[in-house]
Amino acid sequence: MKIELKDNFITDDTREVIKGCYFLSSKFNAKFEQTAKENGVKVINLDKAKELLGIDSNIKIVGITGTNGKTTTAAAIYSTLLDLRYSVFLCGTRGAFVNEKQVDKKGLTTSSPIRILSYLKTASYEKCDYFIMEVSSHAIAQNRIEGLNFALKIFTNITQDHLDYHKTMAEYLAVKSSFFMDETPKLINKDQLNGLVFNPKNAYTYGIKEIATFKVVAYSIDKGIDATIKTLNQDGELESDMVGEFNLYNLLAAFSAVAILTKKPNLEITKALSNFAGVAGRMELVSDNPRVIVDFAHTPDGVEKVLNALKHDKLIVVFGAGGDRDKTKRPLMAAIAEHFAYKIIVTSDNPRTEDANSIIDDIFKGFKDSSKVLREVDRKKAIKAALNLAQNGEVVVILGKGDEDYQEINGVKHHFSDKEVVREILCK
């Protein structure tokens, strides 16, 4: 992409270069630098690009990483800071937003260095106090966050995911850990380290089970969330309509981050945080009759957390698994669904270039007893079957895509929304 200047532009794409333009050199695109030079460009580094773009060095950048919870935690921090009357930029899986305006569509969890610079340029123009971003393990490994000076780094959790890319959990852990090895202030989930290593200097912790800087000492998650948080100087009472222990962790991380960043009284923070209603496609209630919930969960840990939060209901679960991704998690997700569900319908997710039926075959390997499992490769038909089965108060839970509005088949993205399909079927 290119970023326009008054009388020139900056690009990181050799297909866009012209003689005399600026070419952004970074570790992420270093292999293209020589080709750019041959076209007569002015090669600049990230610091020079920030100077040319007038990026405000006082903006506090907050990076959130973890297998699950990044999107909800980032959105909760963004919402709370806005309610506390700060100017804030947010970027991640759901796109980019500044002060409640969407300025870019959904894309990668963490964008390329030049796109992040374009976001920082916007944030500077909008006089933002904070810049909140999701940080993926791919972005850490590929140096997409090079040149960013973080005011706070947050770790949510780590469980099996992305082994198609990282190959082993040890490598995945090493990549995540590398993000927390400097002396930048950091906020760590003490309960779900699972082998994460971090530099203890300037480290704050949060948790429910373990002793932590920000500790939940009492809580209820039966109908919404009600929790007492103990901090170094004062306690706080957190209330939310969101459900599930995993969302308590997300809200606790958001509360802790805002407390560290702003030093505001706990009461002000919890009041602002209580206004956060959650993120589209994350435990989203799509219908009341029958009760239908859509969630993005696509890892064994994510599936378990969602279904465990709903375990008191009779569950009909619809799920699949993404193609061209970690195959070892497919049977694990099946075993978890079997543990919690009354009925299961296994279907397609985003098969990408894999055969959808082969993916479903891999999932079925995880079932001990497939008598309560239906197989329907067509996702729309699978959702319809689940809705037809929900005749006696059962809750339909549709997992894997959340608020995605496409399904990728044979490398082509077709419009598809779980929420739209549910509403269309129920209207008919």
Rounded distance, CA 36 to CA 44, Å?
11
Confirm or deny that 240 is annotated as ligand binding: no
Rounded distance, CA 295 to CA 281, Å?
5
H or E stretch at 121: helix 113-125
Confirm or deny that 262 is annotated as ligand binding: no
Confirm or deny that 410 is annotated as ligand binding: no
Confirm or deny that 142 is annotated as ligand binding: yes
Q: Coil, strand or helix: which one is 231?
A: coil
Confirm or deny that 411 is annotated as ligand binding: no
Confirm or deny that 71 is annotated as ligand binding: yes
Confirm or deny that 68 is annotated as ligand binding: yes
Instruction: Burial-class residue 86 by CB neighbours within 10 Å (0-12, 13-18, 19+).
Output: middle
Confirm or deny that 35 is annotated as ligand binding: no
Confirm or deny that 349 is annotated as ligand binding: yes
Confirm or deny that 66 is annotated as ligand binding: yes
Confirm or deny that 300 is annotated as ligand binding: no
Confirm or deny that 72 is annotated as ligand binding: yes
Sheet of 88-92, strands arranged across = 101-104, 95-98, 88-92, 130-134, 60-65, 150-155, 186-189, 203-207, 214-220, 225-230, 235-240
Angle at the Cα of 414 (from 408 to 420), degrees rounded to 5? 110
Q: Coil, strand or helix: which one is 405?
A: coil
Bridge partners of residue 141, in order along the sequence? none
Rounded distance, CA 75 to CA 283, Å?
14
Written as one letter, the residue type at 221 is I
Q: Return the HEC string of 78-93.
A: HHHHHHCCCCEEEEEC
Confirm or deny that 67 is annotated as ligand binding: yes
Confirm or deny that 350 is annotated as ligand binding: yes
Closest CA to 388 of 427, 426, 337: 426
Cα–Cα distances in angstroms (integers) from residue 223 to residues 188, 251, 310, in the given order:
27, 16, 11
Confirm or deny that 347 is annotated as ligand binding: no
Distance of CA 113 to the CA centre of its chain: 19
Angle at the Cα of 63 (from 108 to 332), degrees rounded to 5? 60
Closest CA to 147 of 27, 258, 64: 27
Confirm or deny that 136 is annotated as ligand binding: yes
Known binding residues are: 14, 66-72, 109-110, 136, 142, 144, 325, 349-352, 400, 404
Known binding residues for meso-2,6-diaminopimelate are: 325, 349-352, 400, 404
Known binding residues for ATP are: 66-72
